[in-house]
Structure 1
């Protein structure tokens, strides 16, 4: 099993088979980034929420990676101020899904299947992803990175989410420590859930490049953290949205650098 999980990690941490396009969501009235495979009909799609004060471009490598595996990614660039509205950002995530479903993206050769939608996010964006999933019955899966509590409460909303959830936490995260954020959210989750720690990850380890917020928040960009997150999110989203089992061994086993919290993991992360 360990060798199989390692092989899945190696495969899914590499770029997928699709050429990738990326563009500006503001062309359809919502500031942000969209990444897609060059072509494909009936594709899965996710809306991704950025962390507090972070621009969406700090996750562009993740977006392009997911798109290379056939997943459309729309990331609103709204609510980036100090006093960000979590409710408004939750609405923007849902609007981003509307764009994916209702707008022919790319060069007109891409369409999204409305039954294959998910939300994901980092920190504040992860908390807002939970809020969106509690409100929107179209959403079939949720993935978070160093999830943070929100107002209204993501912890309260987690009880209303009955689709599979994957929560990745940072073992060295001092800003959103798992015991105060991801652990209670996973414990309250209403559906299948997995809590997994990326052992050496800091809060900003999931982001890419340099940014002024490194002066006031905890951590910095970490290649190893991003590699693990790319592989795990790819495995999870392919499994839950399309039934693709190639990453199943990775989802069910510890691999170097990560550890599954078995006490806060229940149900199978299968297509809802």
Structure 2
């Protein structure tokens, strides 16, 4: 008797799985011990792991994304987040360089108690707002980077839009529907339109600019929005599915990446190629 092919999980079931903590115990520590201020989150052990560098938003501390970083680490991804360029006159060029340096650290330093190592062929990069634009700049200059994800990305100087045309690896861009600081039509949409490789643009419904951040911070008095659980849950699930697929060929989140689900939409006008490419 022929064996029936296993049915792929629905987007609803994949969302439920990938928005929950993964199977790995998580460690986190201070990157300044190895020469760069910031945070590192890792699975407790594992060799040849994938890694991403994560860029914070304008004037945001890296620990406003700690739950997201710990979530990715629980699914087997090392995350390094530099805490530099946090002032109002932050240099986008230097921050993009710090993101690349963070990846150098992830690859070159045996983390934990020597039980954690990173595979240089499994590197990605991500960021929120300014950090998203700087992640795109870094990807355009670093051929090691295999995947890029942004949350409410903002234009930078030098231009992230111009850099996007030189990025040939898969890109996933999450825009916030109610973002008044980086409106999708002026930021995420032109970024996706300029992308040089496979790309998908999604809009997270009812999300604000700071919806992807966690906890409280004085910048909420100046910037638009506040932390939103639903926005964070969507980001955790999509980034987990995206980086697992792009960096490790783990396809358990395919239904999330291939279909829209409650709380977000896929922009068909600014989506092209296969994110698994």
The reply on whether 1:247 has 2:253 as its aligned counterpart is yes
1:48-197 → structure 2 map (5 Å cutoff): 48-197=54-203
2:4 aligned partner:
none
CA contact (8 A) 2:36 2:82 kept: yes
Matches of 2:146 and 2:94 in 1, distance apart? 21
The alpha-carbon deviation at position 106 of structure 1 amounts to 1.1
Matches of 2:188 and 2:112 in 1, distance apart? 35
> Where do 5+ consecutive residues of structure 1 fail to align?
none
1:22 aligned partner:
28
Query: Is the alpha carbon distance of 1:174 and 1:108 closer, same or farther for their aligned partners in structure 2, counting shifts above 3 Å?
Result: same
Matches of 1:254 and 1:59 in 2, distance apart? 24
Matches of 2:62 and 2:156 in 1, distance apart? 19
1:216 aligned partner:
222
The reply on whether 1:45 has 2:51 as its aligned counterpart is yes
Residue aligned with 1:148, SS: coil
CA contact (8 A) 1:2 1:255 kept: no
> Where do 5+ consecutive residues of structure 2 fail to align?
1-6
The alpha-carbon deviation at position 209 of structure 1 amounts to 0.4
Residue aligned with 2:60, SS: coil
CA contact (8 A) 1:206 1:221 kept: yes
Q: How many residues are paired up?
A: 271
The reply on whether 1:266 has 2:272 as its aligned counterpart is yes
The alpha-carbon deviation at position 236 of structure 1 amounts to 0.1
The alpha-carbon deviation at position 51 of structure 1 amounts to 0.1
Matches of 2:18 and 2:236 in 1, distance apart? 7
Query: Is the alpha carbon distance of 1:148 and 1:108 closer, same or farther for their aligned partners in structure 2, counting shifts above 3 Å?
Result: same
Please give the per-residue CA displacement for 1:126-164, whole angstroms capped at 9, x wherever unaligned. 000000000000000000000000000000000000000
Task: Select the structure of larger CA radius of gyration.
Answer: 2
Please give the per-residue CA displacement for 1:211-236, whole angstroms capped at 9, x wherever unaligned. 10110000000011000000000000
Matches of 1:147 and 1:205 in 2, distance apart? 13
The alpha-carbon deviation at position 269 of structure 1 amounts to 0.7
The alpha-carbon deviation at position 107 of structure 1 amounts to 1.6
Residue aligned with 1:244, SS: coil
CA contact (8 A) 1:2 1:253 kept: no
Matches of 2:178 and 2:101 in 1, distance apart? 33
